[in-house]
Structure 1
């Protein structure tokens, strides 16, 4: 190995100089390729101490040479800031930028190789390449402009969005030329200088001069010293989004209007006012000049404009369109009767067959219209329409759909009004009938009950024989008079009581009484009737507190009606049981018999006035059908309930419950 240094001082000075150099330096003997010296920077890059590196062949660490690239083997090769590879002690490759210089010392040739680590530069370069590819392939349009606003870079998405085929067509052009409102574009550019960024919507101009809406996000790019260097912007075409949003908004408006109109017709206080408000909403939603309804007369021969809405500036026509003969408009009426929509894009283009319609429409200044049939109870009763006095043209399908929905809703509303009118008429008729019935019953009270009481009274006087002896036939006839008179009086009394209940005039007079006394009284009263049919009339009493608060007279009437019915419908030799159970709050009373029983489908009408299970002319049992109706009303006046359990051939059980003691209100 040749010697480079002659003195110790020179060697020390060279070491200081080498170690002060920021780049790695290696000195190689050109003759045997051995490393004769290395500075501190190179040693750190290799990862070994200087003494461990010196003496090794250079190719162990520096640049495993490619053919034609090694200055040792190829001295003619010029190596100046060339990218090479350095191997550290682990065998890992470190990219370096290397320069080689040849020097002679005492006729001996040396190579001085200096290099810097470019790993981070390579990484940064790769990152920039990735970012550049990302920008180029971004779906967002991206552009760069110099400080004058001239384009210096655009990606592929920008070219596609603006309709250009090559970046040469746009680079160098002022960015403001790509916007419909160039003054607004200038404002954006100025905002970047003063505020550093701008975000918003702008109307862009394509190559073919058509416009489209974009969302622009722009920023001013500055260097490390804060000095502006260029303007950057990204764009998103929001034309379709805007259209979709407008469509959604329009659909919501339609849904809200239809829902509002529907809710108005649920229970309108004034149907005509509701229709007028609905026409206003439809007119505003569709942007028409006039909305209206025509109704046909009951015989279908004439029609009138019954409802109308006109915005400000449009002349109303309702007053001029009353009682028109439908035969004047055969073309119009033919379409309506076929269930067709009448869609006139231009009134002036109507053919001869619609000449009458054309004349009256032009008189009103109508240029286009849409009309749909109006049905009530599935019958054509008129039509609903929209006019335009400003423009001709085709009506949108959604306008037709809105009008169709409005027609259906309005038709349903008119049906409801017709039904309400019928119901009101029926109510008035019922009230009149009820008034007549009340007057009749009041007259019956005077005209029938008064003389009937006299008949019964005088018959009792005659039966007493105070005015002479009666033979057996006379006694029999007088007895029949008394029995039938009392029966007729009971019917009249029942009718009067039921009438008072229905009129809300029946009163309760609650009092505290012993329930057993009331039951025993009824049993004693009904026992003779039971004995006639050999019926076992018995009681089943299971009560703790014998006292209740109720109207004693009506309580007895309830029990009397139930027991008399049970005896009436029980065959010879049967049984009737009166039962009582109480709790802390309720008293439960039942009357059970072993009689005929009642079919399930007949049980629902038992408590209706004048209703009888056997209503034929030849029915076996007499009665008016008022007894159970009175029972139900009296029980409910006490705040109680009554029901029946029965099966044909197995008898019946009528049960009612009333509160033992509570606040009983008058009916």
Structure 2
């Protein structure tokens, strides 16, 4: 028994069937994509579906679309499909600068397909792209340019994040067709959007236009108008439609309407025709009309559009301007001030009033032929440079030396203002002669310097007389105090009273002299600070102890609060004590019986802040302004004039400022007063 048979190689048949099946799949996908983008209902969704089908058909790990923004410098990942297990990158690829991918963008701009079988093998010129792709884990990819309206609008790409590999010619062809279909869909959607936006803009412009818009047919009848008609003419829209336009126009303006109609027939438009038309109530309205013809597809005029602008107010304004110009001319020429009109570009004097001609000594014809450089003694280049700068400022103020026609030089003050005349910016200049004022100021300055020198000499003299003035007084006070002890024999009542008056008057005089001498030392610059570290709380307690007897006479309590953080301060202890003593003593004087004087001390930033507050009736605004002036005493009608030198608060201010501090007063009527001063915790010296 024997067997015979034939062996067939079916591999080629299998490959052929697979190729046919793949081509059928391609045709099916392309047909479906083509149908989607012929008239896309939902463009965004259609693009996502197309990317999925293309990605699956080509075996990609990721397919995507990037669109370039209108500025051409940034692109965004707008659509993305990812195979199962592949991480999406869309959110990470927004606002990408084109300059970050120069090699990539150059190829797309040249309509090249970017086919990268192996990202690791990219050339050196694609180093930036290689880094970006590497971060995303991309092994291979293919990218095709996407065109909209013939312009590069972005690109479509497919990635492989698992293996490297090539895309065949069939894949490239599929992608070419697909990306072109998408571009057509995007283009159609943008066109539809532009048309819709255009229609909306037109409707909005017609409805909300500031001017009245009328559509008039060939017979001169109004067929449509916007809502502005009610405001301008008093008609409702339905009342005006159907009326002949000539019925709205004054009879003496109908000739212009005929001229406009002829112009539209001849060249298609007629601009700036002024008419007077009737309102519904019969009142006239001045209008300016621009009109143009509307034609059908055969070029035949079917309607005329009239854009009507209300110029009633403008007409009134023009009349007022003419009257204003007349008044300006009168005021300019008859003004007693010296006034000129200058050209800032050339320096020429374009106009000058009578006062200017008299002041400079030129007849009007000669004056108008001069340049400002003929009057101002500065170099012409410097003058013109200054005039050019003056044009951009609202007001200019200068001091110059001007030469009169007789050669005499005068000091002048000049104000200039830029004004617009006939579309050109000019300078309106007012000149004042200040020669005599300058001489007076010079003499006053000399007198001031002499007075300051005399004051300084006085201060230096008083500062140097400290010992000579205090020594006799100390003797008087010392011996009178010894007599009061009666250790050298008894005194009768009259003698005791006289000696007591001597002691009190001597102490008062000594305080006055001390204040004057201290103030003189400060003004003469001979007062020095002896900076040391001391406890703020202890010093406040010391001042309270000194002034408590004085306060007790009026049943006034002296209270104090010190911030725990404010322990010590570096300052001149004696001057700080005198500052505080004077402020508390002053507060006691102006606080009624059973009142309070409160001292508060705290840290504020890098400074010690001390507040001395009383429960008096307060200080008026006028007194508060002069309270720190020397030889000024606080007055109050309720408590009468207080005794004192009038130098205490002035010295306080000087001592605070010597510490680089500040002092001020806050007061309200019947709310008492607060004297506040701040001193740095650690002075620079």
Given the two structures, how large is their TM-score scaled by the length of structure 1?
0.39
Larger Rg: 1
Given the two structures, how large is their TM-score scaled by the length of structure 2?
0.38
